[in-house]
Structure 1
Amino acid sequence: MPELPSLVIVGAGGLGRGVAALVEALNSPSPSWNLTGFVDDDASLRDQSVMGYPVHGGVEWLSQRENLFFSIAIGDGDARQQIAGQLSQSLIQPACLLHPSTSPHRTSEIKSGTIARKGVATAVDCRIGPHTVVNMNCTIGHDSTLEAFVTLHPGVHISGSVHLGTGVTVGSGSVVLPNTRIGSQATIGAGAVVTEDLPPDCTAVGRPAHPQ
């Protein structure tokens, strides 16, 4: 039997533990990954155990390793971007982790570093950029693009032909209607309904959503 690729999760908080559960689902019944543990810059977690997996150290520890895969399980897109940059020159690779319940169509493209949790549904011709986090029970419509470091919180519904710029965050239970563009680094509040294009770097709330 070939040796399983080794994986380290960056971040031992709630999302990190959820990603560990995702990996356990991927490993049942046929193992796919050797989950060796977590790294976290919280010094109080050093040499501790989370879900039975060790916390090896901080991100610096990971940057000195070789022949590993990593997954940045941190909900903040800016933090993921910073860590991805820190690890970009190291001899390790980002993993793409899709829960077994997620079955992207062959016409879709999902880049490395993406996390898609339980209950995610994608339509045809989707494009999902690197280090994007798609949380539980989200849907992504046909011909939609999510650029790098996008975060969809649980229960978000992205309609067809939507474009989310780099680092966009969409709050839980929000809906983005078809043919809508949201600029980079924008934040959409929980429960919002986005009916028209939104500019970069804004925070939009309401039904319909308007920049504050």
Structure 2
Amino acid sequence: MKNKLLIIGASGHGKVVADIALKMNKWQSVVFLDDDESIKKQMGLEVIGSSNDVTKYINEYEIFVGIGNNATRQKIHEELEKSGANIPVLIHPNTVLGGQIELGSGTVIMAGAVINCCTKIGKGCIVNTASTIDHDNYIENYVHISPGAHLAGTVHVGQGSWLGIGSAISNNVNITNGCIVGAGSVVVKDITEPGVYIGAPVRRI
């Protein structure tokens, strides 16, 4: 493990990621890269360059992608993997984790989240504030589970999907890749086609 952390992205999501990293008290220093040249510091932490500079720092820093957009996060994460970067998992101290949980590299678990036993979460996922994931879930890579979303037992969420704030997913439901489930929506049966889904129960729009 390297004792320094570099976060790509110094905007809203990146700031929350940095706050979690500081609370973990695992790295001697935390810094950002960001493509907005007007940002020199964020949360008192230095912005030391743009995302194009990342290869300079691979040997010195662990590197985390602090970007909320699923597709952009996936692209950068996969480039980092090819470059041999060390990509950590970030877990806020105020989370509840059950036994036999698997978390992929580059995943962040935010404050107040609950993940129950025997759940597998892939690479580059966001498990956002106060969301809950019950037993035996399988969350594929680069999924964003928004604040206050609730997943019952044995839910499967496909790669790159985004579950909106306050959404609810019934037990034994499968959601395919590349779906957006709107804020406050309720999913009670499988979603088999990519698309945008809203309502209670959800309908495709």
One of 9, 29, 53 as aligned partner of 2:45:
53
CA RMSD of aligned residues (A): 1.4
Amino acid in the other structure paired with 1:150: V
Provide the rounded CA distance (Å) in 2 between the counterparts of 1:64 and 1:37: 14
Superposed, 1:28-107 pairs within 5 Å as 32-45=26-39, 48-65=40-57, 66-107=59-100
Residue number in structure 1 paired with 2:163: 170
Amino acid in the other structure paired with 1:49: K
Residue number in structure 1 paired with 2:104: 111
Residue number in structure 1 paired with 2:20: 22
Residue number in structure 2 paired with 1:7: 5
More off after superposition, 112-121 vs 60-69: 60-69
Q: 1:67·1:91 contact (CA, 8 Å) conserved in 2?
A: no
Give the unaligned 5+ runs of structure 2: none
The Cα of 1:108 is off from its aligned counterpart by 1.1
List per-residue Cα deviations over 1:130-167 (Å, max 9, x = no partner): 11001100000100010000001110001100000000
The Cα of 1:4 is off from its aligned counterpart by 6.0
* Runs (4+) off by over 4 Å: none
Amino acid in the other structure paired with 2:34: D
Percent sequence identity over aligned pairs = 32
List per-residue Cα deviations over 1:186-205 (Å, max 9, x = no partner): 00000000011112421000
The Cα of 1:85 is off from its aligned counterpart by 2.2
How many residues in Structure 1 have an aligned counterpart in Structure 2? 204
Cα gap change, 1:63 to 1:163, in 2 (>3 Å):
same
Provide the rounded CA distance (Å) in 2 between the counterparts of 1:125 and 1:96: 18
2:85 alignment partner, SS class: strand
Cα gap change, 1:57 to 1:192, in 2 (>3 Å):
same
Q: 1:23·1:35 contact (CA, 8 Å) conserved in 2?
A: no
